[in-house]
Amino acid sequence: MKEQNVNSTATSELNVVPFKTRVLPYLIVAPALIITIGIMIPFIMAIYFSLTNYSFRMPKYNFIGLQNWINILTSSVFWKAVWVTLRYAFFSTVIEMGLGMGIAILLNNLNNKFSKIMRVALIFPLMVAPITATTVWQLMLNNSVGILEKFLNIFGIYNFPWAASPSTAMMTVVMIDVWINTSFCMLLVLAGLQSLPKSPFESAKIDGGSTMFNFRNLTLPMLKPSLYIALLFRLMAALQEYAIIFALTQGGPGDTLMNLSLTAYQNGFQFQKFGFALPYILVLWLFINIVAKQIVKRQRAAQKQAAGLEE
Amino acid sequence: MNTASNRLSRVIQNGLLAIYAIFALFPLIWMIILSFKSDAQMYNTTFIFTPTLANYKAVLFESDYLTYMLDSLIVSGGAVVVSVVAGVPAAYALARYNFKKKEDIAFQILSFKFAPEILVVLPLFMIYQKLHIYDTYFGLIWVYQLISMPLLIWVVRGYFEDISVEIEYAAQVDGYNWYQIFFKNLIPLIKPGLVSAALLAFIFAWNSFTFPLMLGGTNIQPITVAITKFLGTDSAHYGQLAVASAISALPAIIFALCIQKHLVRGLSFGAVKG
């Protein structure tokens, strides 16, 4: 509400020359918009070409209606890819949110020298390119030079398969994703914790509320807006994860890790069936949009609720 | 009693943090250790070995690594410059003016952040080949706008909104025109925020993989794409792989250290003002 007021006063005060102010904003936004809208064209093209049998190999293509869509939606490959996408997104997001929140609470509670150093050092994994991070993990997972193999040998486990076996591959990529992105959730939660107002907690102390009670009824509702933002960013990225899986196993072993992004890539670039690749990724885009809208809606509601608690 | 349990809880909390710290930092330390190991020592030593600079020499002087670094630098740097030039005025307009479809435009720009990269890349691959900008700096800098532009506009917009409009009004009364106000009053005020947003955009661009993998070819290979080649062909030279990873990670980590204070705000696109 406050921001709205600031904006409207801004308009009235800059409204000296009406025509100029009416057009000026569009002119200023235009370059940014043109640059990004140039990139928008692919979205529209993607929808059109999903209705054709376009291939990079052939010079001509035909309009084939919903044929690609029907073929894909009735194939087991598609549903398998959906299942992999959802599982990957669920496990990585849940672990990152939970772990990130836990670490943020630890850092906030401890407030000693060790925790202050860790506040800085723990963001390093987040800044390393996912592809580089995966490379580093490959160096660790490797059975001949990898340190993890030597570590597991202590416990009598030999030749742990990691990414090589269908039963442990998902766990391995999720672990790498968690390694990279937990600090993202940690940073957002920590920022949320440190901006908590003091007064509600002081009055709760006088009322004699338990730590658990305070956490559930004060900390958590006031943290919710930050948590939703972390959830939004992580979930959206995890649903379309590509780099980590590609670098680790290219979707293998077999089709164990073929999510929608990788399946679309494989069909489009390796099999060169461009039109056939698009529905996979369009479905993902639609799904991401719906989920993102829901999270944004909830985030706004949580923000209003938190603002109410602060008073 | 209370102090004893308090102390115990502190010890446990420090312990838990230490365990996580090992998980988070050990892979990076391991990468550094491997980078100093010779191929011969790779298999029969763990922590105790005679360090060598041979891997660094091989990667930096006997391979095309520095060309890959230069490609990364040109593409990421170029992308950030374009985003700053076009994005900062846009951010200002979105912060200060009320106009029709304002929020729609802002959300449209943000939505690129959440669009699956593969969805953009598949049609672009076709367009780029028709326009002959496939595998060119221009083409990559353009597509990188999807990474850097939304971030820059949303973060910088927040910093503009934090500045009171009274400052502009006062300057207007003093007879300054819009350009003078913008460059002499506003830009210095948002400079820390702007610089950190630009650096973060650079990190994201530097780290991006999908776009250069599919829209770059033999001419332009940023480091993220090149590293997969180290992985594929030279699998026996683990030490060199470690060097390649370590050097490519270095700029991002240094920049991140410079912008610590603004990191949360940048990472959340201005949604969380840490």
Tell me the ipTM for this assembly.
Answer: 0.90
Helix/strand/coil for B225: helix
Determine contact: A36 vs chain B, CB below 8 A. Answer: yes
In whole angstroms, give the CA distance from residue B173 to residue A199. Answer: 41
pLDDT in tens, B25-40: 999 999 999 899 888 7
Q: Which of A132, A195, A285 sits opposite B245 (nearest CB)?
A: A132
Query: Does residue A33 belong to the interface with chain B, where contact is any CB pair within 8 Å?
Result: yes
* Alpha carbon A70 to its chain's center: 29
In sequence order, what are the beta bridge partners of A63?
Answer: A52
Block residue for tokens 């937990």 = A182
Model pLDDT for residues B8-20, shown as the tens digit of each residue: 989 999 999 999 9
Contact check, Cβ <8 Å, B114/A187:
no
Mean pLDDT (chain A) is 86
Alpha helices in chain B (DSSP H): 2-35, 41-44, 54-61, 65-96, 102-114, 117-131, 137-162, 165-173, 178-180, 187-207, 210-215, 223-233, 238-258, 263-267
Highest CATH level, class, for A70-310: mainly alpha
Distance from CA of B110 to the nearest CA of A (A): 10
For an interface test with A, the pick among B11, B29, B76, B118 (most A C-beta atoms closer than 10 Å) comes out as B118
Give B120's contacts in chain A (Cβ within 8 Å). 39, 42-43
Q: In this predicted model, what pLDDT tens digit does every residue of B103-148 receive, in sequence order?
A: 888 887 888 788 888 888 888 888 888 889 999 999 999 999 989 9
Cβ-defined contact of A188 to B272 (cutoff 8 Å): yes
Q: How far apart are CA A108 and CA B32, in angstroms?
A: 30
pLDDT of residue A151 exceeding 60, the answer is yes
> If pLDDT is split at 50, 70 and 90, which confidence band does B261 have?
confident
Determine whether B89 is exposed, middle or buried from the number of CB atoms within 10 Å of its CB (0-12, 13-18, 19+): buried
Q: Model pTM?
A: 0.89
Query: Would an 8 Å CB–CB cutoff place A165 in contact with chain B?
Result: no
Q: Are A281 and A272 in contact (CB under 8 A)?
A: no
What's B100-157 look like in SS3? CCHHHHHHHHHHHHHCCHHHHHHHHHHHHHHHCCCCCHHHHHHHHHHHHHHHHHHHHH
Say how far apart CA B252 and CA B258 lie, in whole Å. Answer: 10
Q: DSSP label at B52?
A: -
Question: CA-nearest residue of chain B to A151?
Answer: B46
B187/B159 Cα distance (integer angstroms) = 10
A223-259, pLDDT tens digit by residue?
999 999 999 999 999 999 999 999 898 888 888 999 9
Q: Nearest CA of chain A to the CA of B54: how many Å?
A: 18
Rounded distance between C-alpha atoms, residue A138 and residue A163, angstroms: 9
Task: Using the predicted structure, report yes or no on whether residue A177 has a pLDDT greater than 60.
Answer: yes
pLDDT band for position A12 (50/70/90)?
Answer: very low
Domains and CATH numbers, chain B: 2-54 (no CATH), 57-267 (1.10.3720.10)
B207 pLDDT higher than 60: yes
Q: What DSSP assignment string belongs to B260-274?
A: GGGHHHHHTTTSS--
The residues pairing with A52 across neighbouring beta strands, listed in sequence order, are A63
One-letter amino acid identity for B204? F
A272 min Cα distance to partner chain B (Å): 10
